[in-house]
């Protein structure tokens, strides 16, 4: 992100903070007693170059993936639930009389994420699932919409979701919004969330922190996980 754009966003944040705090926003939902990691769309079509869905590669390679590796290490050490979320479609012909794409293909090129091409929707090998972790296939922006996510989290006594992934303005944001609506404490892990569009991450994390969940650093989240292990 350019320095000029960041400066403009910071000015907007300063004004917005005043308004939000005067009106009682930016409260803390806090960490609960049993967290799960919900990693949204950190699959090859988003994390690697050459796809319409490819996100900012510099941030992906230098911040998101290393941050995810640290988080996964802490979750695995504490034996806590990890859910890897990805997106793909079985019927990608836009002219077909029936398709699992719904109407979303009328807005974005989801037809390129073909279920038949596993390499596209497979979780990035740098953060690949290990035995005991679950890979959830979704069809819409939210990881909760039309999926089993809420049910399996409740069945495993989860009250807090640490949300990572892409994109900040769509699938991550919708997952967090639906997460708090379904009664989970959403924590957006700052360094592990990305997007394709400059400024989208900063603005959405600011707005999420004001209304839908807490934005916390990787290190703060790892300290929390370590405290549970003790």
The reported pTM is 0.95
Task: Assess if residue 14 is contained within a domain.
Answer: no
- Which residues are known catalytic residues? 171
Task: Assess if residue 77 is contained within a domain.
Answer: yes
Give the pLDDT confidence of 174-222 residue by residue, as tens digits: 999 999 999 999 999 999 999 998 789 999 999 999 999 999 999 999 9
Task: Assess if residue 28 is contained within a domain.
Answer: no
> What pLDDT is attached to residue 8?
75
* Average pLDDT of the residues in 43-70: 98
Task: Assess if residue 67 is contained within a domain.
Answer: yes
The total domain count for the chain is 1
Task: Assess if residue 215 is contained within a domain.
Answer: yes
Task: Assess if residue 204 is contained within a domain.
Answer: yes
Lowest mean pLDDT across 1-5, 87-91, 96-100, 136-140: 1-5
The domain in which residue 64 lies consists of: 37-92+101-229
Nearby residues of 97 by Cβ (< 8 Å), 6 or more positions away:
none
Q: Which two tokens stand for residue 60?
A: 């992906």
CATH code, 59: 3.40.50.850
């Amino acid at each position: 992100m350019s320095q000029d754009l960041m400066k403009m966003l910071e000015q907007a944040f300063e004004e917005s903070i005043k308004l939000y705090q005067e009106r009682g926003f930016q409260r803390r939902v806090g960490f609960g007693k049993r967290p799960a990691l919900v990693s949204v769309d950190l699959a090859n079509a988003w994390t690697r170059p050459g796809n319409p869905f490819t996100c900012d590669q510099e941030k992906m390679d230098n911040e998101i993936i290393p941050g995810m590796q640290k988080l996964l290490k802490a979750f695995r050490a504490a034996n806590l639930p990890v859910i890897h979320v990805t997106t793909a479609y079985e019927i990608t012909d836009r002219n077909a009389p029936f398709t699992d794409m719904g109407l979303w293909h009328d807005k974005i090129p989801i037809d390129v994420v073909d279920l038949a091409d596993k390499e596209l929707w497979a979780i990035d090998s740098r953060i690949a699932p290990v035995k005991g972790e679950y890979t959830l296939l979704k069809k819409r922006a939210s990881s909760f919409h039309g999926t089993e996510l809420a049910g399996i989290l409740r069945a495993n006594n989860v009250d807090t979701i640490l949300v990572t992934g892409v994109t900040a303005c769509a699938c991550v944001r919708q997952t967090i919004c639906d997460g708090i609506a379904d009664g989970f404490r959403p924590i957006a892990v700052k360094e592990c969330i990305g997007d394709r569009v400059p400024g989208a991450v900063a603005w959405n994390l600011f707005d999420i922190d004001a209304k839908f969940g807490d934005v916390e650093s990787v290190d703060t989240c790892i300290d929390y996980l370590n405290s549970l292990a003790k």
